[in-house]
């Protein structure tokens, strides 16, 4: 008789650091709780679990009864725990010391709170680089799981992937399991009986000396949070039908990764290339390249040779997000700088709070964009900056920095100048814009320069401008034949027009200057404690521009060398946490002309307040000469599992004056709200 196929079933649960509590509550209600409750009723169904460290802490605090249930399943041997970096970082893009710290922090947490240290580890977004091997092994991890696609890219045949393989790096050995792509797409989208039959069919190739294995490890959010899945998985009973089918089949044995790993031998040595799952390899490419890649994939599928050659149709690598999005690259390099400062701090001065702030700033979600990436979500970027600004203030208290210094932080070949006084920090890039692109308020732990410019995205060609069709191209299929994956859906949450998708021709920074709508170009003139000066070219308008930092106040002065006919304007983009929600409002002359999501115009603005309850503070903007001020929200168009949507990134203020006065002064005062 052939041996049964070993089903190694694992789920990964994660929520980004800083996600909205209502989002996590919904995920718990529609996914985490019902999933654990159903699995608890089937103790013979063995499975692996990875809850990211931040989410595990949150659930233990908010829903302790569910984590208690999970702990019981661990204690009775039903659940195998998988490790990872504590805050779900991409291990390949943080320093070795932080990889060790992140992995060890989480492994100790699992031992303390759930009773076991892990033998296996989940790799965030299945991003593989061989450089992560030493840190995993040094923390006691014996095996990890990646997609079978990774193995195909290394030249392996699909028929060979019936177990685990071994790799090595810097004298450390690590075993790797290949996740079945077929199972990732069948569970839970195909009927339960069909999925069980497919797994059982893998036993047909087994003999007394061979043991095929079905490896599954994927996001738990597919079991309740993705569109249509709650009804399909729970109300229509898919999950119970699947578990019952597996347990009833004589051809399937539900097994832990650790037990299979102990009982079986490695299938041999393998060296995997730097890659992630195939969809990620498309998302990380610039729009034009991503479109060419997608066209090639479609051509291969239409001509019937994709499955045989897909390993050779490889897109970009995860780190391309840093070269593609300057905002992501800046966050990443700022994080690396803070990591180096913390590591250099004498041990007696380091605190657990400092370490936790660093680790939370390394959470992956806000650094990339794709169907599930969060770079376009301002509240996730804000969480990264909240931690970095807070950590920087702690480090400055221990080892003060100069009031001003210059360096090329993001390695783009252009130096940045930092002005800071312990209360406010302004960062300038020494290019022709002479603008501020990071403005930190240390008391508020906030970066007002945390905005995102509009870029052309590869999915724009799927959007017909002006359409508002929630189901126009939606691959809606919820019947006995299964449901559609989020990868297959085209769904519109908002009306999107052509101008919403126009790429910006300048950074979304503070104090972008124009004369008669033409961008002014500047050169640095001088740099001193608390101030920096620039000078524009003589044509079309010679201007001296000076920034002065004092306490909680930033002052920008313009000196015009001559008076001329025309309109001078400056654009100020501010990241306000409330965005277009109810917590953000303008206050002008004691009245509220609108919220941050509104468009309006003032003809004689000399002072206006931007008040934000989410921030817990406000900005007072004043001008020495009455200005015509236009206010509007800055939106970007993004794609998520829920569909195409517009997301507010910043408040965009445009101030205009005729060039009649010799001098113009604009002041920003940053204040905390009184409690």
CATH number where 499 lies: 2.70.98.10
Residue 210 pLDDT: 58
Contact 212, 267 (CB under 8 A): no
Residue 46 included in any domain: yes
Condensed to tens digits (0 to 9), the pLDDT of residues 299-313 reads 999 999 998 888 888
> Domain ends where: 279, 302, 319?
279
Residue 673 pLDDT: 86
| Cβ contacts of 652 within 8 Å, gap of 6 or more | 508, 571, 572, 573, 631, 632, 633, 634
Residue 470 pLDDT: 44
Instruction: Name the band, by pLDDT with cuts 50, 70 and 90, for residue 151.
Output: very high
Q: What is the arithmetic mean of pLDDT over 516-534?
A: 93
Residue 65 included in any domain: yes
Residue 45 tokens, joined: 């169904």
Condensed to tens digits (0 to 9), the pLDDT of residues 540-549 reads 889 999 999 9
Per DSSP bridges, beta strands 531-536 and 522-528 are antiparallel
Most confident range, picked from 274-283, 308-317, 584-593: 584-593
HSE (side-chain half, CA atoms, 13 Å) at 159: 3
Query: HEC profile for 501-524?
Result: HCCCCCCCCEEEEEECCEECCEEE
Is 145 a residue whose pLDDT tops 50? yes
Question: How much of the chain exceeds pLDDT 90, in percent?
Answer: 84
For the domain that residue 251 is a member of, what is the CATH number?
A: 3.20.110.20
Residue 378 included in any domain: no
> Domain ends where: 245, 279, 313?
279
Quote the CA–CA distance of 371 and 8 in Å, as a whole number. 26
Residue 399 included in any domain: no
Instruction: Name the band, by pLDDT with cuts 50, 70 and 90, for residue 472.
Output: very low
Range 387-406 burial, b when 16+ CB lie within 10 A, else e: bbbbbbbbbeeeeeeeebee
Is 486 a residue whose pLDDT tops 90? no
Give residue for tokens 């095929």.
212
Q: Which residues pair with 531 in a beta bridge?
A: 528, 548
Identify the helix (H) or strand (E) that includes residue 650: strand 643-658
Contact 526, 501 (CB under 8 A): no
Q: What is the arithmetic mean of pLDDT over 114-137?
A: 97
Contact 572, 621 (CB under 8 A): yes
Is 144 a residue whose pLDDT tops 70? yes
Identify the helix (H) or strand (E) that includes residue 370: none
Length of the chain: 675
Q: What is the DSSP string of 176-220?
A: EEEEPHHHHHHTTTS-HHHHHHHHHHGGGG-BTTB--EEEEEEEG
**Domain tally, the chain:** 2
Identify the helix (H) or strand (E) that includes residue 531: strand 531-536
Is 491 a residue whose pLDDT tops 60? no
Residue 587 tokens, joined: 């206050």
Question: How much of the chain exceeds pLDDT 70, in percent?
Answer: 94
Residue 419 included in any domain: no
Helix axes 53-62, 64-75, angle to 10 degrees: 120
Helix axes 96-114, 64-75, angle to 10 degrees: 90
Q: What is the arithmetic mean of pLDDT over 614-626?
A: 96
Coil, helix or strand at residue 553: strand
Q: What values do phi and psi take at 503, rounded to 5?
A: -75, 145
Quote the CA–CA distance of 73 and 39 in Å, as a whole number. 9
Residue 349 included in any domain: no
Instruction: Name the band, by pLDDT with cuts 50, 70 and 90, for residue 372.
Output: confident
Query: Higher pLDDT residue, 423 or 561?
Result: 423
Quote the CA–CA distance of 408 and 403 in Å, as a whole number. 17
Quote the CA–CA distance of 379 and 464 in Å, as a whole number. 28
Count CB-CB contacts under 10 A for residue 463: 19
Contact 375, 330 (CB under 8 A): no
| Structural domain of 533 | 483-672
HSE (side-chain half, CA atoms, 13 Å) at 469: 13
Radius of gyration of the chain from its Cα atoms, rounded to whole angstroms: 27
Give residue for tokens 């037990």.
259
Residue 296 included in any domain: no
Residue 430 included in any domain: no
| Cβ contacts of 189 within 8 Å, gap of 6 or more | 222, 482, 483, 484, 485
Longest dimension (CA), the chain: 95
Condensed to tens digits (0 to 9), the pLDDT of residues 251-278 reads 999 999 999 999 999 999 999 999 998 8
> Domain ends where: 259, 279, 299?
279
Q: What is the arithmetic mean of pLDDT over 380-388?
A: 97
Q: What is the DSSP string of 575-620?
A: --TTTTSTTEEEEETTEEEEETT--EEEEEEEEEEEEETTTTEEEE
pTM for the structure as a whole: 0.93
Residue 602 tokens, joined: 């003032």
Give residue for tokens 């905005």.
451
Residue 204 pLDDT: 80
Condensed to tens digits (0 to 9), the pLDDT of residues 630-661 reads 999 999 999 876 678 899 999 999 999 998 87
Q: Which positions are annotated as active-site residues?
A: 125, 219
């Amino acid at each position: 008789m052939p041996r049964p196929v070993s089903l190694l079933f694992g789920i990964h649960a994660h929520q980004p650091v800083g996600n909205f509590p209502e989002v996590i509550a919904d995920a718990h209600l529609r996914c985490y709780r019902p999933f654990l409750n159903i699995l608890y009723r089937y103790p013979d169904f063995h499975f692996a679990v990875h809850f990211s460290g931040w989410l595990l802490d949150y659930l233990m605090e908010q829903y302790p009864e569910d984590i208690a249930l999970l702990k019981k399943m661990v204690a009775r041997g039903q659940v195998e725990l998988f490790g990872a970096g504590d805050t779900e970082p991409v291990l390949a893009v943080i320093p070795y010391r932080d990889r060790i710290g992140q992995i060890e922090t989480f492994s100790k947490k699992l031992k303390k709170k759930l009773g076991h240290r892990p033998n296996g580890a989940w790799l965030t977004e299945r991003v593989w680089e061989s450089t992560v091997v030493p840190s995993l092994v040094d923390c006691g991890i014996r095996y990890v799981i990646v997609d079978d696609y990774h193995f195909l890219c290394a030249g392996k045949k699909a028929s060979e992937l019936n177990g685990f393989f071994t790799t090595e790096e810097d004298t450390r050995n690590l075993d790797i399991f290949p996740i079945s792509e077929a199972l990732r797409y069948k569970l839970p989208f195909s009927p339960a009986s069909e999925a069980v039959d497919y797994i059982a069919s893998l036993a047909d190739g087994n003999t007394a000396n061979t043991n095929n294995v079905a490896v599954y490890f994927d996001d738990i959010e597919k079991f309740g949070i993705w569109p249509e899945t709650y009804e399909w998985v729970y109300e229509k009973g898919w999950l119970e039908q699947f578990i019952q089918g597996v347990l009833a089949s004589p051809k399937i044995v539900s097994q832990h990764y650790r037990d299979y790993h102990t009982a079986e031998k490695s299938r041999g040595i393998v060296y995997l290339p730097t890659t992630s799952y195939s969809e990620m390899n498309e998302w990380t490419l610039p729009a034009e390249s991503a479109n060419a890649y997608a066209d090639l994939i479609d051509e291969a599928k239409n001509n019937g040779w994709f499955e045989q050659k897909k390993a050779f149709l490889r897109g970009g690598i995860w780190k391309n997000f840093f070269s593609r999005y300057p905002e992501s690259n800046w966050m990443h390099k700022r994080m690396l700088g803070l990591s180096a400062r913390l590591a250099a701090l004498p041990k007696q001065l380091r605190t657990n709070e400092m370490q936790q702030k660093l680790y939370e700033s390394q959470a992956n979600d806000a650094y990339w964009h794709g169907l599930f990436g969060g770079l376009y979500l301002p509240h996730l970027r804000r969480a990264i900056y909240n931690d970095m600004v807070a950590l920087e203030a702690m480090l400055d208290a221990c080892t003060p920095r100069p009031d001003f210094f210059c360096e090329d932080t993001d390695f783009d070949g252009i130096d940045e100048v930092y002005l800071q006084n312990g209360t406010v920090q302004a960062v300038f890039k020494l290019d022709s814009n002479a603008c501020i692109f990071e403005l930190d308020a240390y008391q508020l732990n906030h970066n007002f320069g945390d905005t995102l410019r509009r870029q052309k995205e590869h999915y724009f060609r799927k959007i017909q401008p002006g359409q508002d069709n929630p189901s126009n191209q939606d691959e809606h299929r919820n019947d006995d034949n299964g449901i559609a994956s989020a990868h297959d859906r085209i769904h519109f949450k908002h009306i999107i027009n052509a101008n919403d998708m126009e790429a910006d021709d300048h950074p979304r920074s503070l104090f972008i200057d124009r004369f008669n709508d033409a961008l002014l170009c500047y050169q640095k003139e001088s740099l001193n404690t608390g101030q920096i000066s620039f000078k524009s070219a003589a044509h079309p308008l010679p201007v001296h521009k000076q920034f002065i930092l004092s306490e909680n106040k930033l002052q920008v002065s313009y000196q015009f060398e001559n008076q001329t006919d025309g309109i001078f304007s400056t654009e100020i983009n501010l990241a306000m946490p409330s965005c277009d929600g109810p917590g953000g409002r303008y206050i002008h002359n004691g009245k509220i002309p609108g919220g941050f999501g509104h468009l309006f115009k003032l003809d004689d603005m000399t002072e206006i307040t931007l008040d934000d309850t989410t921030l817990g503070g406000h900005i007072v903007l004043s001008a020495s000469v009455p200005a015509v001020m236009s206010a509007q929200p800055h939106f970007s168009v993004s794609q998520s599992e829920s569909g195409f949507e517009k997301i507010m990134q910043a408040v965009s203020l445009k101030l205009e004056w005729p060039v009649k006065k010799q001098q113009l002064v604009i002041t920003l005062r940053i204040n905390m709200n009184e409690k």
